[in-house]
Amino acid sequence: MAELIDGKALAKEVRAEVKTRADAFRATHNRSPGLHVVLVGDDPASQIYVRNKERAAAKAGIEGRVHRLPAETSEADLLALIFELNGDDDIDGILVQLPLPDHLHDQTIVDAIDPAKDVDGLHPFNSGLLVVGRKGLRPCTPSGCMRMLEHVGCDPKGQRALVLGRSTLVGKPIALMLLEKHATVTIAHSRTEDLAERVRESDIVVAAVGRANLVQGDWIRDGAVVIDVGINRVDDGTLTGDVDFEGAKDRAAYITPVPGGVGPMTIAMLLSNTVDAAEARIM
Ligand code: NAP
């Protein structure tokens, strides 16, 4: 029977660490670390995410501010705001809530953020630092997954790790982070054949696809560590992951639940990145 990796409890621990560091930063520099979030349009899910970030920042001793812009904001106006935030010395982190409305290109906007303030870790400069194994701001969800592995004493060194999904946001960066920790990494995607076999031979399985119960419980190797990043809303309105939790929990050594697993870690790592950015900028 697997032990649960409690994302809520671990995220609380991370947020407490952030608060201690943010308070120390304020005591030394006479200001709190600053996080500015840009929200364009009125997508309901994005509004909830942004509100959660705003609240979490305030609780962690971070000076948060949200710039709410109308859906029809032009690219020029949005870029002008980003440049203004880039140039403000009291702002350490800038996050543009994605996806943007259709007439705006996510990547063009992300590319305009000063990489030193890119607390989402999505700027190509920071992706490059991750590829070459150098320190930099790293994407929050993959960082949260790594923190969960560390928390349960799972050292990826020499382990066979399978990442399902190859997105820039989750799949690719988590694969690079596992590689950095000396795992033997396989990346599966929509064209992968024999997915069940790839899962069966893996000591660590990270699922980041977005398909409810894609990974069947009996595919999981005995004693594997399973990190389920997927968030899927099913017919009865509840949330579920990419892994058949009920089947997998009898075989895995550790498993993350959905909800209450990776989700809460993402905001905690965003706050941690903000303090990292603040400390790095004044050095
Ligand atoms: P995405 O950009 O849609 O990427 C999905 C990936 O899954 C793609 O690489 C795709 O392959 C692959 N895929 C699709 N069908 C597959 C199949 N049958 N077998 C194997 N791979 C398959 O999604 P994302 O942004 O990475 O997010 C993935 C999931 O994580 C979503 O459920 C999302 O809601 C969740 N998420 C959670 C958090 C959190 O905080 N917990 C944060 C971010 C995302 P191709 O590249 O070949 O198309």
Q: Cβ–Cβ contacts within 10 Å for residue 217, how many?
A: 17
Q: How far apart are CA 238 and CA 20, in angstroms?
A: 35
User: Residue 39 phi/psi, 5° resolution?
Assistant: -120, 120
Using one digit for the tens of pLDDT, what is the confidence trace for 181-230? 999 999 999 999 999 999 999 999 999 999 999 999 999 999 999 999 99
Residue 283 has pLDDT above 80, yes or no: no
Nearest residue CA, atom 13 of ligand 1?
Answer: 190
Which pLDDT belongs to residue 282?
84
Q: What is the mean pLDDT of residues 9-16?
A: 98
For ligand 1, mutation pick of 174, 190, 262, 270 (most atoms within 8 Å of CB): 190
pLDDT tens digit string along 236-282? 999 999 999 999 999 999 999 999 999 999 999 999 999 999 999 98
| Domains in the chain, CATH or no CATH each | 30-114 (3.40.50.10860), 140-263 (3.40.50.720)
- Of the residues 97, 172, 242, 276, only one is catalytic, namely 97
276 is catalytic: no
Long-range pairs for 245-251: beta carbons < 8 A, 24 or more residues apart: 245/217, 246/217, 247/216, 247/217, 247/218, 247/220, 248/2, 248/215, 248/217, 248/220, 249/1, 249/2, 249/217, 250/1, 250/2, 250/217, 251/2, 251/217, 251/218, 251/220, 251/221, 251/222, 251/223, 251/224
Residues of the chain with pLDDT > 90: what percent? 99
Percent of the chain with pLDDT over 70: 100
Q: Which residues line ligand 1 (CB under 6 A)?
A: 141, 164-167, 169-171, 188-192, 195, 208-211, 214, 229-232, 262-263, 266
Q: From the candidates 92, 118, 120, 242, give the one annotated as an active-site residue.
A: 120
pTM over 0.75: yes
Q: Residue 215 carries which DSSP code? A: B
The whole-angstrom separation of Cα 11 and Cα 17 is 10
Nearest by Cα to 149 from 120, 171, 176, 181: 181
For residue 21, the CA-to-ligand 1 centroid distance in Å is 33
pLDDT digits (tens, 9 = 90+) for 99-149: 999 999 999 999 999 999 999 999 999 999 999 999 999 999 999 999 999
249 is catalytic: no
DSSP β-bridge partners for residue 205: 162, 226
Q: What is the pLDDT of residue 120?
A: 98
Q: Which atom of ligand 1 is nearest to the CA of 210?
A: 32
